Amino acid sequence: MTRGGPTTVQREKFNAADYLVARQIRAGNGHCVAVVALNRTLSYAELDREVRRAARGLRALGIRPEERIAMCMADDVDLLVLILATMHIGAVAVPCSTMLTPGELGELLTDSRTRIVFDDTRFSDVVEEAVASTTEVECIHTLDQLLARGMSAGASDADGEPYPTWPDSPAVWQYTSGTTGTPKAAMHRHADIRIIAQAYGHGVLNIGSDDRFLSVAKLFFGYGMGNSLVFPLSTGATTLLEPGNPTAELFAERARRDRPTLLFATPAFWTKLLASDVQADAFASVRLGISAGEALPAPLYYRMRSRFGFEILDGLGSTEMMHIYISNRPGRVHPGSSGWPLGNYDVELRDEFGRRIDEDEVAGELYVRGDSAASGYWCRTDATRRVFIGEWVRSGDIYRRNLDASYSFLGRTDDMLKSSGIWVSPIEIEERLLAHSTVAEVAVVAMSDSDNLEKPVAYIVPASGAKIDKDELVRWCRDVLAPFKLPRAILELAELPKTATGKVRRDILRARSRPHG
């Protein structure tokens, strides 16, 4: 019999910033190009030094492990450095959408309980107005101010090791609008970053150090963070950061200049690209296109392949899973489907009673199980229990399994709609429209365009004696709603179709919104 206390099990230490940057230095890749932005190019050694300086500045500000740090910034070197520096010291990065209104951003800052928010000159007015609406934020900083503070703090921490986080330590929060339309922070761990790099970056895309990554989706999206930060840095490759709005002409110019090998986008972008005068040779360097955010219709896939030559891999991911977990494969594409589950993810379809569906070509709600699943939603116990069910995550998507074992998207289980690849709550748009004096009733549903991409359309019953000014209503919405939430069409009805109990028949409105012919 052995005397003494209980045996201590040594837990693995893992820091995602160390995995993405310092590991490349140890591997002898410090001279390799890590980041190409509009006005700056950094090697891995230079990126590592900048991350450590920023980390020292964060420590000088008194930031402690697991505290949240919000960022409302364009995709540029500064944002990349701040995300990495935050994880380096064991704090939690909260990248915020630059598409939010001040009111929406203020709600997010209050919810995250962040003390410090970083911005750049592009969004300083929005951030200042948002901060004025919350009592949580103590100060606003830029990266330059942080680096100066880091320099004045001395060099004692400059070459220090990253904070000894565990694989399960929180690393980043990614906000999503769930089924209620209210922002929810999906809490992701340091381990999740390594998991998605290995599962999708290496397992599907076969990425290597000679790849160059260009993403339409921004870093504040889970999709964009994987594309522009996790995947390239995990393999010693180069990320091409683009702060501008993703027009076809802008990305064609970047592609000609910086020669990406992987182009990440959404169906909405592919549609814009096809409608443009961009020449096919602008993307001659691209070996693969990757599509996510919403389902890629087969006709759109074929038109892109015919005109630009590269294969596009459509895939399904989610904020809750951090990135793509069902995908088509290079050389094996089922157009019109999301593809096949990644090797370390399990998916199954369930009927309305929660029973597993084993038959092919039968619709059911998609559930997914995999190690990159978020720990849950911050301070949203009810929503967490509805979505995170044991080891399984409920997607809210209706899918069918095809005869070749690929999966095809059929629609949502609820009334949420997706505009430009972003989930939108119809209730939020309806509430804004109902606040206008000329509107008596309103219902917002998805309208599918000729490429089968969803846009919000509002059906309105005018107030008695009122005349509807559609342009005025759009301006009214624009005052408080982000651009992707604006109704793309406003249609006037004498009355809304309703059930016997008074509920709006959204299915009838959706049918009216489908393109004919």
DSSP 201-250: IITTS---TT-EEEESS-TTSHHHHIIIIIHHHHTT-EEE---S---HHH
Query: How many CB atoms sit inside 10 A of residue 38's CB?
Result: 13
Q: What is the pLDDT of residue 154?
A: 63
Residue 344 φ then ψ, to 5°: -105, 25
Amino acid 443: pLDDT: 87
The dihedral formed by the CA atoms of 203, 209, 214 and 217, expressed in degrees to the nearest 10: 40
- Whole-number pLDDT of residue 136: 84
pLDDT at position 155 is 55
425-429 long-range contacts (CB < 8 A, ≥24 apart) are: 425/177, 425/180, 425/181, 425/182, 426/181, 426/456, 427/181, 428/181, 428/481, 428/485, 429/456, 429/458, 429/477, 429/481, 429/485, 429/486, 429/487
CATH fold of 420-513 reads: GMP Synthetase; Chain A, domain 3 (3.30.300)
The pLDDT value recorded for residue 9 is 63
Two structure tokens written together for 506: 């959204």
Q: For CATH 3.40.50.12780, list the domain ranges present in the chain.
A: 16-410
CATH 3.30.300.30 positions along the chain are: 420-513
Q: What is the pLDDT of residue 123?
A: 92
Residues in CB range of 269: below 8 A, 6 or more apart: 216, 246, 248, 251
Phi, psi of 379 (to 5 degrees): 55, 35
Distances (CA, A) of 24 to 46, 77, 234, 436: 12, 18, 8, 56
Residue 495, both tokens: 């009355």
For residue 295, the model assigns a pLDDT of 82
Supply the pTM of this predicted model.
Answer: 0.82
CATH superfamily of 16-410: ANL, N-terminal domain (3.40.50.12780)
- pLDDT the model gives residue 356: 97
Which residues of the chain register pLDDT less than 50?
1-2, 157-159, 178-180, 500-501, 517
Our CA dihedral for 504, 508, 514, 516, rounded to 10 degrees, sits at -150
CA distance 389 to 387: 6
pLDDT of residue 503: 59
Dist CA 242 CA 259 (whole Å): 13
| Best CA proximity match to 77, nearest among 25, 126, 32, 35 | 35
Rounded CA-CA distance 509/120 in Å is 42
